[in-house]
Structure 1
C-alpha cells in the first residue's frame, strides 16, 4: 500500500480535516515560509492529531539540538531534512535521537540521483529542484529519471502532485509513499475536498 503524507498543517482546522481522512503521515513545517509553525503551535497540533498518524517535522538547516528535542519529546515521530544537511549533520542527529530520518533529494537531472548510498536515512523524499528554494513550489520533475535508478532506501514522491495526477505517478514510479502540500490547498489554505480527493485517488489505485 502506498503511504500518504499530507504536509504543511498549521491550523486546528487542518488537523481536523486530516484526522477525517487518516493518512499515514502528517507534516509540520518548521522552516521559514508561509506554512511555518512555531514550537508551541506544533505541540498543540500534535495533541489534536490522531495518534495513529505519524507526525513529521520538516526542517531546513535547523540546529541539531532543536530537531532532536522535538523528536525525543514526541512532538514529531519522523525528521525530514529538506535543506543541504550533510553527513556530519546526520551523524550528530543520530547520536541525539533514534527518530527515523527522511532525506530530501531535490531532483534536477540524473546527477541529482547519484551516490544515494552515502546517505544514512530511513527514507528519501524526491522533490523538484527549484534553485535556491528548498521546496519544489508545486512543480513536477521528470519522473522518467527514476527508471534506471536503484534506490537503496524506500522513497516518497513529491513535487506537483494533485488528486488528478497522483494515480498515474504511482503507476509510473512505484514509490513507497506520496507527499503533497500545495496540491491540497485553495488560496493558500488546506482544502478538505482536495484532501479527500487525493486520499481516495491513492487508495483507489491500491484496490485489487
Structure 2
C-alpha cells in the first residue's frame, strides 16, 4: 500500500513530513485553494523514494510542463475537465498522470474512459474540487471495473486505513485535511501514525 500526503506548502513542515518518507507528496498550484503554493514555489529536495506531485485544475498544458521543470515534480494530478489530449501531452513529456474523479454514485466510476496512469477518487461536493475532508460511500467502488489502479482520497485518517486496504484495485491512500493543524500545515504526530500503520 502506497501513501501520499497532499497540500504541502510550508518548507519546514515539508522537511519534517519528508522524514516519514511518504511515497508521494502533493503540492497544489490552484490559486483559490488555501493550500496554494504560489507561482514561484520550488519543491525542496525530497527523499529518493518520495515522488513530488503537482496538483492542477484546468491549467494549460504548457504551464504544467513548464512548472514541472521549474518547480521539480514528476507526477501531475488533474482535478478539472482535462481530456485525453492533455494526458497524452503530459505523457509525451515523461510525466506520470493521476486523474481525479469526484464520486457520489456508482455512475461516477462506471463510465470512465480516459487512460491516465492512475485515477484518484475523491468526494463530490457541489462545485468544490477536492479538499472536502469528507468521505464518500466506498461501496460505490465495487462498480469500478477498469484495470487502472487508483488513489483513494476524501476524509482519510489513521483510523480508516485498515478498512481502505481491503478495497479492490486500490493503489494508494491520499491524506490531506484530516492530518492538518491548519491548511497546508500537517501534524507530524499524525503523519508518523500513518507511516507506522502502513
**Normalising by structure 2, what TM-score?**
0.91
Secondary structure at the aligned position of 1:106 is classed as strand
Aligned twin of 2:30: 31
Secondary structure at the aligned position of 1:23 is classed as coil
Aligned twin of 1:206: none
Counterpart of 1:80 (choices 77, 82, 87) is 77
Aligned twin of 2:102: 106
Aligned twin of 2:40: 40
Q: Sort the Cα spacing of 1:79 and 1:187 in 2 relative to 1 into closer, same or farther, 3 A.
A: closer
Secondary structure at the aligned position of 1:61 is classed as coil
1:126-145 to structure 2, matched below 5 A, reads: 126-145=121-140
Which structure has more helix as a fraction of its residues?
1
Contact 1:130 1:136 in 2 (8 A): no
Counterpart of 1:195 (choices 183, 191, 196) is 191
Q: CA deviation at 1:195?
A: 0.8
Aligned twin of 1:154: 149
What do the CA deviations read for 1:74-115 (whole angstroms, capped 9, x no partner)?
Answer: 7111000011212333344444x2201000011110110122
Number of aligned pairs? 196
Q: Does 1:166 align with 2:165?
A: no
Aligned twin of 1:22: 21
Contact 2:131 2:177 in 1 (8 A): no
Contact 2:110 2:143 in 1 (8 A): no
What is the distance in 1 between the residues matched to 2:131 and 2:107?
17
Superposition misfits of 4+ residues, deviation over 6 angstroms: none
Contact 2:28 2:55 in 1 (8 A): yes
Structure 2: 5+ residue runs without aligned partners?
none
Q: CA deviation at 1:69?
A: 1.7
What is the distance in 2 between the residues matched to 1:148 and 1:38?
38
Secondary structure at the aligned position of 2:166 is classed as helix
Q: Does 1:185 align with 2:166?
A: no
Secondary structure at the aligned position of 1:199 is classed as helix
Which stretch has the larger CA shift, 166-175 or 104-113? 166-175
Contact 2:90 2:97 in 1 (8 A): no
What do the CA deviations read for 1:46-97 (whole angstroms, capped 9, x no partner)?
Answer: 23322331000000011110101223457111000011212333344444x2
What is the distance in 2 between the residues matched to 1:12 and 1:47?
8
